[in-house]
Amino acid sequence: MFKSQLVYKILGFIPKGKVLTYARLAELAGMPKGARAVGNVLHKNPDAPRVPCHRVVASDGRMGSNYALGGPAEQFKRLKEEGVVMIGDKVDLEKSLWHPPENLILNLTNL
């Protein structure tokens, strides 16, 4: 059972206009220190089309460098269109960082 699957699932739960950092995503996936692992998993990204990776940003609020859908500019534009608050060329994590509901966390734990 690959944890990546759980990561993808969580990504699917992220509402429009909100983003999640790799660290937070990793934490939700059960890897408190596995931000890198998450990145690696997404890098392979066997389910690229069904995974909104553009809603995943780094802890600084910046997006991934080797983004696969068309580059950072594309991701940036898309986030902006979704309603994500941007500060310069970064994301305002204070306002656009998704706060996952507890029931969802319990659900993930149950998985």
- The answer to whether the CB of 30 falls within 8 A of the CB of 3 is yes
Q: Is 58 in the site for DNA (CB under 7 A)?
A: yes
User: How many other β-carbons are positioned within 10 Å of the β-carbon of residue 59?
Assistant: 11
Q: Is 40 in the site for DNA (CB under 7 A)?
A: yes
Helix (H) or strand (E) holding 56: strand 56-57
Query: Taking the complex as a whole, how short is the minimal distance between the CB of residue 64 and DNA, in angstroms?
Result: 3
Does the active-site annotation cover 53? yes
**Whole-angstrom Cα distance, residue 13 to residue 9?**
7
**Token code pair at residue 77:** 């534009």
Q: Indicate which single residue of 13, 45, 82, 97 sits in contact with DNA (rule: CB under 7 A).
A: 45
**For DNA, what does the binding mask look like between residues 62 and 101, x meaning CB under 7 A?**
--xxxxx---------------------------------
Q: Indicate which single residue of 16, 48, 104, 106 sits in contact with DNA (rule: CB under 7 A).
A: 48
